[in-house]
Structure 1
Amino acid sequence: MVTVARRLVRPGADIAFANTGSGARAVLLTHGAGLDHTMFDAQAAALTQHGYRTIVWDMRGHGQSTLAPGTRFTASDALDDLAALMDECQVDGPVLVGHSLGGNLTQAFVRAHADRVSGHIVVDSTWNAGSLTGRERLALRLAAPALALIPARVLPSQMARASAVTPHAIARAAAVFARMPKRTFLDVWRATVSFVAPEPGYHPTVPLGLVRGAQDRTGNIATAMPRWARAEGITEHVIRDAGHIVTWDAPDATSHALLQILSQWGLET
């Protein structure tokens, strides 16, 4: 397990992070909404063992990272935090790996700062720039109001069962989800939705890898990611017997997929 012992002071937040290894190739991993860096424990270990410099962090308001009283989670602040973290770590051209919200965040970062990264791997996240059906647009608009109706005492367990398929992963997810106040989670969810902005014809200018759990039924990921792969002419890595939190449902298979993508890009250490 990686310990995020270092701190980056940001406006309205303190960011907890770890910067492990000394390899020339860096991989920066960003977790999903309501989760924290521990969702990448197995992958960070595998990457470090294969010689990569590995950076993990807790987004503001998640895990060991704080939010100042009265400060609310926003997409723009999270993007600025990511840029500041890269500056703090003095990392040049890392591969960004993002899960769920982390994938939406890193897509937006790559869109704005492609010159700062050497590759991008999206894990169980929808396609920010992809077209949406009328039903998908409606689902996005209704998601936050629907979540607001769920009692806070049952929300973590419901989200965990929707996000993972193995008993161990469900239990682990429920415990982590329970640490975040419901109000903060709703702000995080609204930020997630705000990243989805269809932009026909946009193609990233850095290498792209796509990974998802075969049993992920959250949002439109199961349909959007295959469309995205076809649009970019790449093959998505679909992990058997895994749901949305693929890193906990199938840690070894997910680690293998990440290493395989990096190898295919010629980014071995």
Structure 2
Amino acid sequence: MLSLRGCDLRYADSGGDGVPLVFTHGAGADHVMFDAQREYLLERGHRVVTWDLRGHGLSRPAGARFTAEEAVADLCALIEHLGVDRPVLVGQSLGGNVSQAVVRRHPGLARALIVIGATPNTAPLSRRERLLLRAAAPTLSMIPAKVLPRMMAEASAITPDARADARRAFGRLPKKEFVQVWRATVELLTPDPGYRTPVPLCLIRGERDRTGNIAAAMPRWAEAEGVEEIVIPGAGHIANQDDPCAVNAAIDAFLRTVPAAKQARR
């Protein structure tokens, strides 16, 4: 547990001398979404850290109104607290946006970045995309609280097991707080077309991810960065739970290309 600004952040740290990875989950989810990745990477000698964003999972109550700034500060504080040496940051959805923000603000903090199902923070937005982003929170606010977890789970996952876990996680976060978390996600989108990620980058997307503009934005992001986008066949927004084996293999292959010591991309 790490107590920060009124919230007891809950985390799990395997320890060890292997290349460290810090996993950050998506909005409404919790650390459980990375169980398959944690087990797989531990078997391969990596140090794995998972945690619950404030207000999510075991990190309740939030202690303060959830904001993008709080989420970024919490992740940086956790890394410092654990003394993790230049971890690989892995983020799904909101976790991917938070991890991007940490790398952008503190380029020497991480040795690599893996993003699963998230839009790039710095990509330019079309007028239509801006309108959709502004309309998302009011639309979510109109959905009955009892219905929202099921709807979000069905929109996020394809397989029955992944949907069941998504319903469990979404059901633990009050609707009012979930809408606020969504608003915070939008705060992280700050267009800067000339920006390029300063560390090795891996982009993973589910073939059937229809969340926001991810299906269109991630291929453009990969092209701009000069990296290969990894598309998981048949998977949805939470590809790491829809097809954990394929995502684990993609992460493992990427890690084999990442230097053990810090090396920024040129």
In which range does the TM-score fall when normalised by the shorter chain?
over 0.9
Q: 1:52 aligns with which of 46, 50, 70?
A: 46
TM-score scaled by structure 1?
A: 0.95
SS at match of 2:41: helix
Q: 1:25 aligns with which of 19, 44, 63?
A: 19
TM superposition shift of 1:24: 3.3
1:129 matched to 2:122: yes
Q: 1:205 aligns with which of 179, 198, 202?
A: 198
Instruction: Let me know the Cα RMSD of the aligned residues.
Output: 1.2
- Counterpart residue number, 2:2: 8
- Counterpart residue number, 2:107: 114
- Counterpart residue number, 2:264: none
- Counterpart residue number, 1:157: 150
Across the two proteins, how many residue pairs are aligned to each other? 261
TM superposition shift of 1:23: 2.5
Q: Could you tell me how far apart the structure 1 residues matched to 2:80 and 2:219 are?
A: 34
Q: Could you tell me how far apart the structure 2 residues matched to 1:231 and 1:267 are?
A: 25
TM superposition shift of 1:9: 0.6
Matched to 2:253, the amino acid is Q
Q: Could you tell me how far apart the structure 1 residues matched to 2:124 and 2:43 are?
A: 39
Q: Could you tell me how far apart the structure 1 residues matched to 2:242 and 2:62 are?
A: 33
Aligned 8 A contact 2:56 2:62 in 1: no
Q: Could you tell me how far apart the structure 2 residues matched to 1:53 and 1:23 are?
A: 7
Q: Output one character per residue of 1:97-122: Cα deviation in whole Å (capped at 9) or x when no partner.
A: 00000000011110000111100011
- Counterpart residue number, 1:244: 237
Q: Could you tell me how far apart the structure 1 residues matched to 2:4 and 2:15 are?
A: 24
Aligned 8 A contact 2:205 2:231 in 1: yes
Unmatched tracts of structure 2, length 5 or more: 262-266
Q: Could you tell me how far apart the structure 2 residues matched to 1:10 and 1:265 are?
A: 32
TM-score scaled by structure 2?
A: 0.96
Aligned 8 A contact 2:54 2:62 in 1: no
- Counterpart residue number, 1:4: none
Aligned 8 A contact 1:37 1:63 in 2: yes
Matched to 1:178, the amino acid is G
1:229 matched to 2:222: yes
Unmatched tracts of structure 1, length 5 or more: 1-6
Q: Could you tell me how far apart the structure 1 residues matched to 2:164 and 2:61 are?
A: 26
